[in-house]
Structure 1
Amino acid sequence: MDRVMRLVSKNAVVIFSMSSCCMCHSIKQLFRGLGVNVVVYELDEDTRGREMENVLVRLLGRNPPVPAVFIGGELVGPTDSVMSLHLNGSLVPMLKAAGALWL
């Protein structure tokens, strides 16, 4: 738990992902398309990925836990949560408040 929380506290936007996950790819593209410099941790490419995945399962209450998006150190959630925020117009203000966008 400490490792995950330490990683998310260091950057405005952090995405925990799996390199072969299409929903993870879509979320990464969304943020990059908005001009956000995201930090991505590919769990399947990290030596401690399984350990972090177990922490994310507990935090999200779902398996698989990816994509898991953190903005401003806070868990936003998986794809459906991020897309809901984007569609209702809340995502960009959240990103600005976290210092991830300067528009």
Structure 2
Amino acid sequence: MDRIARLASQKAVVIFSKSSCCMSHAIKRLFYEHGVSPMIIELDENSRGREMELALIRLGCSPSVPAVFIGGRFVGNANAVLTLQVNGSLKKMLKDAGAIWL
């Protein structure tokens, strides 16, 4: 869990993902379209990926990916991020975290 927290605080937006996950791909694309350059951690390409995946599940992320952190705070999975996008609060969160300037 400490490793997750340390990684999540390294950049304004951090996404734990799997390279083969279509929802992870969609969420990454959403952030890119907002002009965000997130830190991406591909769990299936990381030697400690399984350990991190279990920590994300303990944190409450189900399914485990994508798991999104904004400003070092756990936001949630794809459903949570898409809800924020639809209700208009994602952009404000990204501004507050310093991920975008507009």
Correspondence for 1:85: 84
Structure 1: state its 5+ residue gaps: none
Cα offset for 1:61? 4.9
- In structure 2, what is the Cα distance between the partners aligned to 1:26 and 1:61? 17
| % same residue | 61
Is 1:58 matched up with 2:58?
yes
Structure 2: state its 5+ residue gaps: none
Correspondence for 1:97: 96
- In structure 1, what is the Cα distance between the partners aligned to 2:94 and 2:61? 24
Partner SS state of residue 99, structure 2? coil
1:37-93 deviations in whole A, cap 9, x for unaligned? 10000000000000100000100252x310000000000000110000000000000
CA RMSD between the two structures: 0.8
Letter in structure 2 aligned against 1:72: G
- In structure 1, what is the Cα distance between the partners aligned to 2:61 and 2:96? 27
- In structure 1, what is the Cα distance between the partners aligned to 2:67 and 2:79? 11
Partner SS state of residue 75, structure 1? strand
- In structure 2, what is the Cα distance between the partners aligned to 1:61 and 1:17? 12
Letter in structure 2 aligned against 1:96: K
Correspondence for 1:21: 21
Partner SS state of residue 101, structure 1? coil
TM value normalised by structure 2: 0.97
The alignment of Structure 1 onto Structure 2 pairs a total of residues equal to 102
Q: Is the 8 A contact 2:15 2:41 kept in 1?
A: yes
Letter in structure 2 aligned against 1:19: S
Structure 1 stretches of at least 4 aligned residues deviating more than 3 Å after TM superposition:
none
